[in-house]
Amino acid sequence: MDRLPGKVSREKLKKAVDEAFAEPGPDTKRNTRAIVVVLGDKIIAEQYAPGNDKDTPMHGWSMSKSVTNSLVGILVKEKGLDINAQANVAAWQNPDDPRHKITLDMMLRMSSGLEFEEVYGPFKDATDMLYTAGSMADYAAAKPLIAEPDTLWNYSSGTANIIARMVTDQVGGSLAACHKFSKEALFNKIGAYSAVIEPDASGSFVGSSYMFATARDWARYGLFLKNKGVWNNEKILPDGWMEYSTRPTPKAPMGEYGAMFWLNAGEKGNPDHRKFPSLPPDLYYCGGFNGQIVAVIPSRDMVVVRLGVTHDTSWSHEAFIRQVLDSIEAD
C-alpha cells in the first residue's frame, strides 16, 4: 500500500484489511482468500491468504450472473438482441404454453414466474441442476410456472442458465464460439485475461455460477462496471445498460435486486430500509456463495473485492466495506 492518496488513512485501511483475514474466534471459518480495493483507477489495498496470490484464479459463484448480464448487454449493442421480446426458448414456443410470455428482461430480473428452489442440499433444484443436469438450461426451462410472468420475484440460478444458453446460441451455439465471444467481446478488452466461464456437459457456459478469475481481474470487472461499460474510451456496453441493470426490480424486497445485480437502493419511498443501512444507497454488487463480492460504489469512486470460502455467518460485507469507507475521506 505504498503511495496512497492523501485522503486515505494508511493505518485505518490496513486495519480493515488485516481484520478481514483474521478469524474472530477459534471456531469461525471466514477463510478470506483475497481483498482488492480500488479507488479511482488505482489499487489502494491488496492482500492474499497463504497459498493464494495475484495469479490465483478464484471462483465467483453467483457473481457469474452479473457477467452473464454484461454478455447480454454486448449482444443488445452488437446484434440488436431485444430483451423485451418473448424469450427464444424451444420448450416455450407453443403459444398455448403460459411460459410463452416470458421475456429475457423478466429472467434478468428474476421475475419469470418459473419454479426454482435456490437451495443447496439433497434433491434441491440448485444442487440437482449444478451437479446432475447435462444441460442446466434444459433443466430450468422444463420447470412450470408458480406465478404469472412478471408478478413474482424469485431468485434463480436456473433462469441465469437459460439466459446463458440463449447467449451461447446467439454467438454460434458451440462451446468454442462461446469462449471466443466472452474473451474477445469482454474479458480481453478489459485486460481480464484469467477470466473463464466453465461449461456444462451440453457445451453451454454455466452463467449462474462457474466463472473463475484472479482477484485483480474481478476488480477490473468492477472498474468496468463503475465506468458504465466503457474501457479505454471504447463503449463495450450499450448506452444506459448499467442504469437499466441497477434499476430496482419492482417485486424485489427493499429494492435489493436489479437485473442480475444486487442493490442497496432501499425500499421505494423508504430508502433507509435497505440491505446495508450504513453503506451508500448507490452501492451495487455482484454477490456469490461463500462470501464473494465485487462491490461498486459510484459516489465514492470505489470498487471493493472480497473472495473467500466462508462456511458460517462470521463474515459481514457491510462491516468490512464500512471500515474501508471510514479509512477514506469523502470528497
Q: Which helix (H) or strand (E) holds 39?
A: strand 32-39
Q: Which domains does the chain have, with CATH numbers?
A: 10-326 (3.40.710.10)
- Answer yes or no: is pLDDT of 4 > 80: no
Beta 234-235 vs 42-48: how paired, if at all? unpaired
Helices (H), the chain: 10-21, 63-79, 104-108, 125-132, 136-141, 157-170, 175-182, 215-226, 241-245, 317-326
**What confidence tens digit (pLDDT) does each residue in 279-310 have?**
999 999 999 999 999 999 999 999 999 999 99
Position 25 scores a pLDDT of 86
Identity of residue 321: I
Q: Which DSSP symbol is given to 182?
A: H
Instruction: Look over the chain and give the mean of its residue pLDDT values, rounded to a whole number.
Output: 96
Given this model, what pLDDT does residue 28 score?
83
Is the model's pLDDT at 24 over the cut of 90? no
Is the pLDDT higher at 312 or at 53? Answer: 53
Instruction: Classify 32 as helix, strand or coil.
Output: strand
Alpha-carbon gap, residue 120 to 123, rounded angstroms: 9
pLDDT for the residue numbered 329? 83
Nine cell digits for residue 228: 458504465
End-to-end CA distance of the chain: 21
Phi (first) and psi of residue 49, to 5 degrees: -75, 155
**218 grid coordinates:** 474481478
CA 199 to chain centre: 17
Give the total residue count for the chain.
Answer: 331
pLDDT above 80: residue 3: no
pLDDT-based confidence at 26, cuts 50/70/90? confident
pLDDT of residue 331: 61
Cell output for 201: 456437459
Cell numbers given for 198: 466453465
Above 70 in pLDDT, residue 172?
yes
Distance CA(257)–CA(274), nearest Å, equals: 11
Angle at 269 (CA atoms; ends 268, 275), nearest 5 degrees:
55
CB 166 within 8 A of CB 231: no
Task: With beta carbons less than 8 A apart as the criterion, state whether 189 and 150 touch.
Answer: no
At 98 the three-state DSSP class reads: helix
Cα–Cα dist 290/322, whole Å: 20
Residues 257-263, mean pLDDT to the nearest whole number: 99
pLDDT (tens digit per residue) in 39-87: 999 999 999 999 999 999 999 999 999 999 999 999 999 999 999 999 9
Q: In the predicted model, is pLDDT for residue 195 greater than 60? A: yes
Give the per-residue pLDDT at 123. 86
Which is higher by pLDDT, 12 or 5?
Answer: 12
Rounded CA separation 329/313 (Å): 30
- For strand 42-48 and strand 32-39, is the pairing parallel, antiparallel, or unpaired? antiparallel
Q: What is the mean pLDDT of residues 167-177?
A: 95
Query: Is residue 169 classed as helix, strand or coil in its secondary structure?
Result: helix
**Residue 2, pLDDT above cutoff 70:** no
What secondary structure letter does DSSP report for 247? S
Is the model's pLDDT at 5 over the cut of 80? no
d(CA 70, CA 64): 10
Q: What is the pLDDT of residue 121?
A: 86
pLDDT at residue 133 is higher than 90 = yes
pLDDT at 259 over 60: yes
Q: What is the pLDDT of residue 125?
A: 95
